[in-house]
């Protein structure tokens, strides 16, 4: 939209109101995301963070927190904490544990159920999120009914980080994962609930990767490249010794 002034993201505190009049357009619907509240014809911030927008249509506050609040269709990593005939009880880091039906796996039938042990990790999609009900999970894609990467995460290592870092890791061009991918062979699963699962063929690499990812949260792209370079050099030196 050329007629409106270019918007610059800025820091915002809870309670501040945002005037969207400048960006109003009869043509489209304005979408406000997490951290913003629309009440009495006013849009108010309810979280501290950076106010961002996309095409003057989508507005949200980019904030980082550690408490996960489930929301529909978000991808999460959960840990099985109990199992019954019909469902698994899964810890996804939210206030309440989630339910995962044994039939919500690709190719699962009443006779052929997946056999997951207590403590196993699953990559799943939130299929029901309501503040008054327990969240529910599914390990199949919403559109195709196929696994599409969902299911049990075998082996590997789970690290916990802030929700903000997880969101940046979901970006396909995230600097930390691309930089690490140039030097190591590994596999990751990123959940929006502040959990990252890493799998490498070598334990020492797993430790290195998990430390690198945890440290990358407040580094710029340039600093991340530098850090990865140093880490690679260090691990090569250790190998020689």
Partner 1 sequence: MSSHRQLHVKELSGNILKMKFMQRNREQQQKEEEEKEQKRALSEAHWVLDFNSISQENETKIESESSFMNFLEGGNIGRRSYQKFNNAIEKLAEEQMKEQKVKKIEENEQKDSVSDKEMVDRYKKDIGILPTNKNEKHSLSTEDKVENSNKKQKLNSKKSKDISKEFIKPE
Residues that bind partner 1 (CB under 8 A): 20, 24-34, 36-38, 41, 43, 52, 54-55, 57-58, 60, 69, 71-75, 123, 129, 148-149, 167, 170-173, 177, 180-181, 184-192, 199-201
Work out whether strand 121-128 and strand 151-153 pair parallel, antiparallel, or are unpaired. antiparallel
CB of 41 to partner 1, least distance (A): 5
**CA–CA gap between residue 57 and residue 25 (Å, rounded):** 9
Q: Please identify, using beta-carbon distances, which residue of 137 and 189 lies nearer to partner 1.
A: 189
How many beta carbons lie within 10 A of that of residue 130, not counting itself?
Answer: 10
**CA–CA gap between residue 125 and residue 141 (Å, rounded):** 8
**CA–CA gap between residue 47 and residue 35 (Å, rounded):** 5
CB of 85 to partner 1, least distance (A): 29
Q: Please identify, using beta-carbon distances, which residue of 111 and 132 lies nearer to partner 1.
A: 132
**CA–CA gap between residue 31 and residue 44 (Å, rounded):** 13
Q: Please identify, using beta-carbon distances, which residue of 85 and 173 lies nearer to partner 1.
A: 173
Cα–chain center distance at 207: 21
Cα–chain center distance at 214: 14
Q: Please identify, using beta-carbon distances, which residue of 83 and 161 lies nearer to partner 1.
A: 161
CB of 131 to partner 1, least distance (A): 9
Phi first, then psi, for residue 18 (nearest 5°) are -120, 130
Q: Please identify, using beta-carbon distances, which residue of 83 and 213 lies nearer to partner 1.
A: 213
Burial degree of 10 (CB within 10 A; 0-12, 13-18, 19+): exposed
CB of 117 to partner 1, least distance (A): 21
CB of 143 to partner 1, least distance (A): 10
DSSP character at residue 6: P
How many beta carbons lie within 10 A of that of residue 80, not counting itself?
Answer: 19
Q: Please identify, using beta-carbon distances, which residue of 99 and 189 lies nearer to partner 1.
A: 189
Residue with tokens 């501040």: 16
Q: Please identify, using beta-carbon distances, which residue of 124 and 227 lies nearer to partner 1.
A: 124
CB of 25 to partner 1, least distance (A): 7
CB of 84 to partner 1, least distance (A): 27
């Amino acid at each position: 939209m050329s007629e409106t002034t270019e918007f610059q993201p800025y820091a915002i505190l809870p309670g501040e109101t945002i005037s969207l009049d400048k960006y109003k357009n009869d043509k489209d619907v304005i979408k406000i995301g997490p951290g913003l509240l629309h009440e009495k014809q006013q849009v108010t911030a309810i979280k501290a963070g950076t106010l961002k927008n996309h095409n003057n249509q989508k507005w949200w506050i980019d904030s980082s927190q550690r408490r996960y609040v489930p929301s529909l269709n978000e991808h999460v990593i959960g840990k099985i904490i109990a199992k019954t005939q019909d469902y698994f009880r899964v810890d996804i880091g939210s206030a309440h544990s989630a339910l995962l039906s044994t039939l919500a796996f690709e190719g699962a039938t009443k006779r052929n159920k997946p056999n997951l042990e207590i403590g196993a990790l699953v990559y799943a999609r939130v299929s029901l999120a309501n503040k008054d009900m327990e969240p529910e999970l599914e390990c199949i894609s919403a559109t195709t009914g196929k696994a599409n990467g969902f299911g049990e995460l075998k082996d590997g290592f789970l690290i916990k980080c802030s929700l903000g870092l997880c969101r940046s890791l979901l970006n396909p061009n995230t600097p930390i994962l691309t930089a690490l991918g140039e030097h190591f062979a590994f596999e990751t699963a990123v959940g929006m609930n502040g959990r990252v699962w890493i799998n490498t063929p070598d334990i020492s690499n797993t430790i290195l990767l998990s430390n690198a990812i945890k440290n990358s949260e407040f580094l710029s792209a340039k600093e991340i490249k530098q850090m990865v370079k140093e880490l690679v050099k260090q691990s090569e030196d250790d190998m020689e010794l």
